[in-house]
Amino acid sequence: AKLVVGGKRILQETGGTYVEPTIFDGVTNAMKIAQEEIFGPVLSVLTFDTAEEAIQIANDTPYGLAAAVWTADLSKAHLTAKALRAGSVWVNQYDGGDMTAPFGGFKQSGNGRDKSLHAFDKYTELKATWIKL
């Protein structure tokens, strides 16, 4: 991968691990940067030729928090969003949402859902009790 811009650590005095906005080009799916879930302003640029190849690349990771699709073809948007193994998929936008919509990831990107009534599921256990009188 080639560092295009950024990559420097910032705000080190806070004790956190923060980096300035960063772009890597020439990333392959076998690289750690493509396989790890990076929480920060880091863009890894991978190339593909078909929507099917893009879906395969996106799903070939142990994580699945979120994904985004840009297309003018609404049918392709629906098919691609359905095929992506991610808890949230945005089409022609990124990071949209509402407190009434569930948020959470697939695979190793999370357990349960935040926001919405679905968030209560991780704090409750359902039980069925059957009594014959």
Q: How far apart are the first and last CA of the chain?
A: 70
- Rounded Cα distance between 29 and 45, Å, is 10
Secondary structure in 3-state letters for 54-109:
HHHHHHCCCEECEEEECCCCHHHHHHHHHHCCCCEEEECCCCCCCCCCCECCEECC
What pTM does this model have?
A: 0.76
pLDDT the model gives residue 129:
81
Are residues 68 and 130 both part of a single domain?
Answer: yes
Residue 10, domain member (yes or no): yes
pLDDT tens, N- to C-terminus, the chain (133 residues): 999 999 999 998 998 889 999 999 999 999 999 999 888 899 999 999 999 999 999 999 999 999 999 999 999 999 999 999 999 999 999 888 888 877 787 888 877 777 777 777 777 777 788 888 8
Are residues 12 and 75 both part of a single domain?
Answer: no
Are residues 26 and 74 both part of a single domain?
Answer: no
Residue 9, domain member (yes or no): yes
Tokens of 65: 């928090």
Could you tell me the residue range of the domain that residue 24 belongs to? 1-47
Are residues 10 and 69 both part of a single domain?
Answer: no
Q: Tell me how many domains the chain contains.
A: 2
Furthest-apart CA pair in the chain: how many Å?
73
